[in-house]
Amino acid sequence: MLKLINNKGALKLTLESLVGIGVGIAGILFFSFIIWITLSPFMNKDKCKSAEPSLDLLADKVNEVIIDGINRQQLFVFPGGCALVGFSKYGSNVVEKPKECGQNSCLCLCNENIGGSLQCKNKCVGFSEVDDFKEVSDRPEFKDPNQLAMGTGGAKVALNLNVEKQNKEIYIKIYTPNEGNSERGGPSDK
């Protein structure tokens, strides 16, 4: 009978140990998740690396538009978590202008962080002949062009972008083949 009581005690001790181990593992996993969420924006600096060829092609199209004034379209592949941001030569920008842009306006690839903030520490292409980059939207609440900050919110997307020049500003919008050409890349007024 003493042996049976000892076995129940051993069984109780084993169950308590297993519960303790389970709680410990859950705590470690939770703590690891919190650390990963906190540090991931700083550790994952290559989110935009695969978009660099698209930025180079877009920069070529911008240069062509600067030279001849003819609108161009360019397919731009946005990897998840990457945004295309245009920085003004003068005035304010949506986020701090990277130092490598200097006194030029520029197009940069920026990481989209949790909460929608942008971190621009990736590739940039500068343009001395352009004063500003603007994003044009078909949405009626955006009648005037906004500062260019085009991202995907974490999804990988390929967009056909229309590049237009007006004075010393470049207007970029998502191109849809059924729309007519209008003056600043906005929806046509038919």
pLDDT at position 60: 93
Q: How confident is the model at residue 124 (pLDDT cuts 50, 70, 90)?
A: very high
Q: Give the mean pLDDT of 159-188.
A: 67
Give CA–CA dist 150/50, Å, rounded: 16
pLDDT in tens, 33-79: 777 666 655 555 567 888 899 899 999 999 999 899 888 888 888 88
Give the count of beta carbons closer than 10 Å to the beta carbon of residue 186: 18
Distance of CA 20 to the CA centre of its chain: 42
The larger pLDDT score, comparing residue 189 to residue 139, is at: 139
Give CA–CA dist 169/51, Å, rounded: 23
In DSSP terms, 150 is beta-bridged to 84
Give CA–CA dist 152/115, Å, rounded: 13
Q: Is the pLDDT confidence value at 145 over 80? A: no
Q: Measured between alpha carbons, how far is residue 151 from residues 3, 78, 111, 115 in Å?
A: 69, 7, 9, 13
Structure tokens at 7: 């076995």
pLDDT in tens, 6-24: 566 555 667 777 778 878 8
> Which of the residue ranges 45-49, 121-125, 163-167, 176-180 would you say has the lowest mean pLDDT?
176-180
Structure-token match 């470690």, residue found? 28
pLDDT at position 45: 56
Query: What share of the chain has pLDDT > 90, as a percent?
Result: 8
Nearest to 122 by CA among 43, 48, 41, 60: 48
pLDDT in tens, 84-119: 888 888 866 778 888 888 889 999 988 887 777 788
pLDDT at position 9: 59
In this structure, are residues 172 and 86 in contact, taking their beta carbons and an 8 Å threshold?
yes
pLDDT at position 38: 65
Give CA–CA dist 110/101, Å, rounded: 13
Q: How confident is the model at residue 190 (pLDDT cuts 50, 70, 90)?
A: very low
Distance of CA 7 to the CA centre of its chain: 61
The larger pLDDT score, comparing residue 38 to residue 32, is at: 32
Domain boundaries, the chain: 1-43, 49-174
Phi, psi (5° rounding) for residue 84? Answer: -100, 120
Q: How confident is the model at residue 172 (pLDDT cuts 50, 70, 90)?
A: confident
103: region left, alpha or beta (phi > 0 left; psi from -120 to 50 alpha)? alpha
Structure tokens at 64: 């062509």
